[in-house]
Amino acid sequence: MSKKLTVIPEQCSGCRICELVCAIHHFGVNNPKKSAIRIINTYPHPVMRMPVVCSQCKVPACAQVCPTNALRWVEGIVYLDKENCVSCFKCLEACPFGAIYAHEDCDLPIKCDMCGGDPECVKNCPLGALRLMPEYALGETKRLNNVLSYTQMREIEFYEKGEKKTIRYAEIGKEEL
């Protein structure tokens, strides 16, 4: 069963521990500029800290433009075949998320390999902004939030043991269809 590295930007603080552990794990150096995950900050509007990392697409745009077939999707991970890569960096330009990186010292593109299935960044994220999720669970939170924010829901407040609580309900049959 393949798992996806999922990003929850709302929970990211921008500490860049993910960048550090990625670079140390793959290159053995303390250099966040050599990581396959980067946090993009936007400020002041809209405030967003977005970890940008490979989505391991099943139809990888990077692989489609690779002239030597060095990029291939195998069981949930798009691998870079170091033997075949000619470092043309077409993949960097093709990735719709800009999630492949380059560094002067490195001959090859820097691309997430999921650390073979147990990503260091996920293990070390202090706020749970990076998670490893089974594919079937993707979007569950979004779906739930969307349902809960359904505009025709009504809300009432009540007290239970002195604590204020709210309950939401749908008024069935009151809206014109």
If one asks whether residue 92 binds other proteins (CB under 8 A), the answer comes out as: no
Stretch that binds other proteins, among 42-50, 61-69, 70-78, 130-138 (CB under 8 A): 42-50
- Candidate residues 4, 11, 57, 132; the one interacting with other proteins per rule CB under 8 A: 11
Please identify, using beta-carbon distances, which residue of 41 and 87 lies nearer to other proteins.
Answer: 41
Among 3, 26, 49, 111, binds other proteins (CB under 8 A): 49
Residue 30 binding other proteins, by CB under 8 A: yes
Residues in the chain, total: 177
Residue ranges in 60-177 assigned as alpha helix (H): 61-65, 90-94, 120-124, 140-148
**Are the beta carbons of 67 and 94 closer than 8 angstroms?**
no
Is residue 43 a contact point for other proteins (CB under 8 A)? Answer: yes
108 lies in the binding site for other proteins (CB under 8 A): no
**Which of 5, 12, 63, 112 lies at the binding interface for other proteins (CB under 8 A)?**
12
Q: In the 8-state DSSP scheme, what is residue 82?
A: T
Exposure of 66 by Cβ count < 10 A (0-12 exposed, 13-18 middle, 19+ buried)? buried
- The answer to whether the CB of 145 falls within 8 A of the CB of 38 is no
| CB-nearer residue toward other proteins: 41 or 64 | 41
For other proteins, the closer of residues 43 and 150 by Cβ is: 43
Is residue 15 at the binding interface for other proteins, with CB under 8 A as the rule? yes
Token couple for 133: 């999720």
Does a cis peptide bond (omega within 30 degrees of 0) precede residue 46?
A: yes
Determine the Cα angle at 145 with ends 144 and 148, to 5°: 85
Report the nearest approach of other proteins to the CB of residue 20 (Å).
5
CB of 74 to other proteins, least distance (A): 29
